[in-house]
Structure 1
Amino acid sequence: MNHMVHQSPLDEAFAALSDPTRRGILTQLGDGPATVGELAQPAGITVTGMAKHVRVLENAGLVVTEKIGRTRQCRLGAERLDDAMAWISFYQRLWERRLDGLDAYFTLQKGHEK
């Protein structure tokens, strides 16, 4: 990600979520905290590669990390996910209202055909 370009928190969250490996990390962390090494093993990537993915998630506010001894413990940081869900929910309600209006229109048209 180009750090010269400023992204909004919502843009950062959706950019982080666009990668299947990072979505997998969030799924795994849904079961509880894990170290970077524990996250890397089932994904089949190096610890260094996983650390890069974790950093993107951390910069987006989706993951929180803490250095414990020689390991880095990761856990979900749900605040940004709440922002993304609020954005999705707004558009879901908008589309539901539009579809309800379309359904009412066709029901009315059907009634006029009789």
Structure 2
Amino acid sequence: MAIRDKMSANAAHVLQPGENIQAVFGAQTTSQYFALLSYWIIIFANAYRVVVVTDRRILICRSGRMRMTPVNEVLRELPRGTRIGPPSGLWWRCETLGERLYVHKRFHKDVNAADGVTAA
């Protein structure tokens, strides 16, 4: 099962009745570039987030410190019209979701897809 499918399946319990997921992607709270200084910074300071974009709202969910796919609780809820991107680079720093999050390049197409649905 692909990582996006796991995140979508794990996010089902935070959705309202009739709400549909349009995009889902992972992020983390600490830049991976800190690993150049010390790997312990990444281990103790990093936390994963799952961003669930639905047809009604954007949810930022806590995922934990070791794995990206679980969806434990909703930390923040934003209006659907919030523009997330545009992403760039290997680790894009996103500050539009209420906290500084770092999104890896493999999820950039999901960010673009979420913003594309908003624009349409």
Q: What TM-score, normalized to structure 2?
A: 0.25
* Higher-Rg member (1/2): 1
The answer to which structure has the higher strand fraction is: 2
The answer to which structure has the higher helix fraction is: 1
Q: What TM-score, normalized to structure 1?
A: 0.25
